């Protein structure tokens, strides 16, 4: 922890609240409440930045959001996914926070992360992706898939793209090479005139010959890190909700129709 912040992705004492400078007091109006919350978030960002700098941790805070847990904030870090931080900025927690009390467990991270993911996905240009339209052009749903042409499970999913399209689901591939050694191939695919054919070729283990070009592969890889991607395939719906890794066409349809 002295020099590097390690994060894993896919995978409060009430008595202190009175003296906690980062805990907003109960305001008289909703406007004051919003202002107090923004101030608390900004103070937390400042405090965390100071702690990161002191510990020689190179981490950039992208977003901070209040959670349903008292004095606990969700913090999105650029290229590192997200963590939780106590309101005084003295502790960060890696992993999921689970709410109990119902028949099903609820991961409070999912909705917070999905809100950010939706913004990221909406900002993508279709010309920077590999798009497989729904059958007859009638899309009921759109899914985004972080993929790597060297990934066996990506190959397996790729075999079912036509079946997925037949269910009215448009598939959009985002480049996510799983290591630097796979970066050149993914860049070659994205620089090809026919990306679909190039992806098929690479998936068969054949070399892809394409000239260098300005391409979005590294930016898309960074996007995946920001969204918490740590393996491929990683499937998201248009709302930014993570659906899972490899799934059959029927399973994807079921998840989308929930």
Residues 251 and 127 in one domain: yes
Query: Does some domain include residue 250?
Result: yes
d(CA 162, CA 159): 7
Asked if 87 and 41 count as a contact pair (C-beta separation under 8 A), the reply is no
Q: Active-site residue 151, yes or no?
A: yes
Domain total in the chain: 2
Q: What is the pLDDT of residue 78?
A: 85
Element (H, E) at 253: helix 249-256
Residues 190 and 139 in one domain: yes
Asked if residue 228 has pLDDT above 90, the reply is no
Query: Does some domain include residue 7?
Result: no
Catalytic residue from among 151, 172, 191, 195: 151
Asked if 120 and 223 count as a contact pair (C-beta separation under 8 A), the reply is yes
DSSP 88: T
Residue 80 vs residue 206, higher pLDDT: 206
Cis peptide before 233 (omega within 30 of 0): yes
Asked if 64 and 73 count as a contact pair (C-beta separation under 8 A), the reply is yes
pLDDT more than 90, % of the chain: 68
Listed in order, strand segments (DSSP E) in 136-181 are 141-147, 169-175
- Structure tokens given for 201: 């070729």
d(CA 49, CA 28): 31
Quick check: pTM over 0.75? yes
- The mean pLDDT value for 57-84 works out to 90
The band of 33, judged by pLDDT with boundaries at 50, 70 and 90, is low
Q: Active-site residue 191, yes or no?
A: no
Catalytic residue from among 10, 13, 49, 148: 148
The band of 74, judged by pLDDT with boundaries at 50, 70 and 90, is very high
- The mean pLDDT value for 217-242 works out to 95
Catalytic residue from among 172, 178, 191, 195: 178
Catalytic residue from among 13, 102, 136, 154: 154
Cα-based distances in Å from 47 to 24, 26, 129, 135, 200: 16, 22, 38, 51, 49
Whole domain around residue 128: which residue ranges? 122-256
Per-residue pLDDT of 93-139, as tens digits, reads: 998 899 998 888 888 888 888 999 999 999 999 999 999 999 988 89
Asked if residue 40 has pLDDT above 70, the reply is yes
d(CA 46, CA 68): 22
Contacts 24+ apart (CB under 8 A), 51-55: 51/89, 51/90, 52/5, 55/1, 55/2, 55/3
Residue 29 vs residue 63, higher pLDDT: 63
Query: Does some domain include residue 197?
Result: yes
Residues 154 and 221 in one domain: yes
Q: Active-site residue 213, yes or no?
A: no
pLDDT more than 70, % of the chain: 87
Q: Active-site residue 148, yes or no?
A: yes
The band of 18, judged by pLDDT with boundaries at 50, 70 and 90, is very low
What is the average pLDDT value for the chain, to the nearest integer? 87
């Amino acid at each position: 922890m002295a020099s590097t912040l390690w994060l894993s992705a896919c995978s409060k004492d009430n008595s202190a609240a009175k003296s906690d400078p980062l805990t907003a007091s109960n305001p008289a109006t909703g406007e004051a409440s919003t202002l107090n919350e923004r101030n608390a978030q900004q103070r937390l960002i400042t405090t965390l930045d100071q702690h990161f700098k002191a510990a020689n941790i190179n981490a950039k805070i992208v977003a901070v959001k209040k959670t349903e847990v008292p004095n606990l904030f969700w913090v999105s870090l650029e290229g590192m996914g997200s963590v939780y931080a106590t309101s005084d900025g003295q502790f960060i927690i890696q992993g999921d926070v689970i709410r109990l009390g119902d028949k099903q467990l609820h991961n409070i991270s999912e909705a917070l992360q999905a809100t950010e993911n939706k913004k990221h996905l909406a900002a993508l240009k279709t010309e920077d992706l590999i798009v497989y339209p729904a059958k007859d052009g009638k899309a009921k749903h759109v899914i985004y898939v972080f993929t790597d042409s060297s990934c066996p499970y990506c190959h397996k999913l790729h075999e079912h793209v036509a079946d997925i399209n037949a269910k009215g689901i448009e598939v959009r591939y985002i480049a996510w090479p799983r290591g630097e050694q796979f970066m050149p191939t993914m860049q070659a695919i994205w620089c090809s005139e026919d990306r679909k054919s190039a992806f098929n070729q690479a998936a068969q283990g054949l070399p892809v010959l394409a000239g260098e070009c300005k391409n979005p592969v590294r930016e898309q890889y960074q996007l995946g890190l920001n969204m918490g991607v740590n393996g491929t395939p990683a499937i998201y719906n248009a709302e930014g909700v993570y659906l899972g890794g490899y799934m059959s066409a029927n399973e994807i349809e079921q998840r989308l129709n929930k």
